[in-house]
Amino acid sequence: IMTDLKQSYSVRLNDGHFMPVLGFGTYAPDHTPKSQAAEATKVAIDVGFRHIDSAYLYQNEEEVGQAIWEKIADGTVKREDIFYTTKLWATFLRPELVRPALESSLKKLGLDYVDLFIIHVPFAMKAGEELLPKNASGEIILETVDLCDTWEALEKCKDAGLTKSIGVSNFNHKLLELILNKPGLKYKPTCNQVECHPYLNQSKLLEFCKSKDIVLVAYSALGSQRDPQWVDPDSPHLLEEPILKSIAKKHSRSPGQVALRYQLQRGVVVLAKSFSEKRIKENFQIFDFELTPEDVKAIDGLNRNLRYDKLQFAANHPYFPFSEEY
């Protein structure tokens, strides 16, 4: 782990680039005004976040890019201080669509490169401009694209300098092996961004990723925003968990800070999403306390393989990631 003067702790990726271990998530449900993403991103940069996570799917890259540029213009950061991630959406997995999709994100952002470009989900949806292409009965239309072909197109984006690093998201260990064992592989995935929190701690996938020098990046680390489009409204609230609350109380911290710190201590890069100024500040204050081995063990004990984001609509796709144990 490398630190600079600003205490933005970073981890070295397998391609030699550095990723700050705490990232700011920018996804918000459709009913949230996109302008809030710009405001929240500016607050996040002000409090010290340097790793910003977005995606084509979130449809907020113009706002997030504008926030980054405002913070560059006022001297808070330089472009090279920011680690920005975007994601290749499922409708662009055909190899010939990969670079145009990245270029479209870059144009919205006003950036000439991103720091990380990842495959958002392993299964393809029908190619085209529609984000969620549906048939007459309202079901999402999937298609099969060879992930190895998609990966080669990401490698070309890296070689072209449009992204510094490339990786994946929502992959299980079998799908990772598919890429790792690809004949003529030029670059390994640097990371696998997956849902990860005390109710779904991903210990087996984490162990696998560590053995391959792939960083595990945690989304929904504070539970989930429970967007009804993706998540069952009856799922339990992670931050109401009594064990997290009691550990938090002992350290005079919040349950959210404990959930984030837990990931850092197990070598997971963690994303924290909030659009509230108070909580954005709070989420960054996780470098100045430490959980005891007993705390970590108690939090490990909360694992119940509870997945908030089940992606159930893709359950019959050959690359559906959640039918394997890890």
CB 117 within 8 A of CB 159: no
Of the candidates 18, 192, 174, 167, which has an alpha carbon nearest to the alpha carbon of residue 88?
Answer: 167
CB 82 within 8 A of CB 96: no
Helix ranges, 181-292 (H):
203-211, 242-250, 255-265, 277-284
Known binding residue 197? Answer is: no
CA angle 210, 212, 215 (to 5 degrees): 50
Determine the angle formed by the axes of helices 61-73 and 95-109, rounding to 10 degrees. 50
The pair of three-digit structure tokens given for residue 209, joined into one six-digit string: 């990723």
58 in catalytic set: yes
E strands in the chain: 10-12, 18-20, 22-25, 51-53, 83-88, 114-119, 124-125, 142-143, 163-169, 191-195, 215-219, 269-273
Marked catalytic residue, from 9, 56, 58, 199? 58
31-41 burial code (b ≥16 CB/10 A, e <16): eeebeebbebb
Place of tokens 């782990």: 1
Single-letter residue type at 119: I
Greatest alpha-carbon span in the chain? 56
Place of tokens 């998540």: 231
Rg of the chain over all Cα atoms, to the nearest angstrom: 19
Give the contacts of 139 (CB within 8 A, at least 6 positions apart): 313
Of the candidates 101, 6, 103, 14, which has an alpha carbon nearest to the alpha carbon of residue 51?
Answer: 6
Q: Which residues are annotated as a binding site?
A: 120
Active site residues: 58
Q: Which residues are annotated as a binding site for substrate?
A: 120
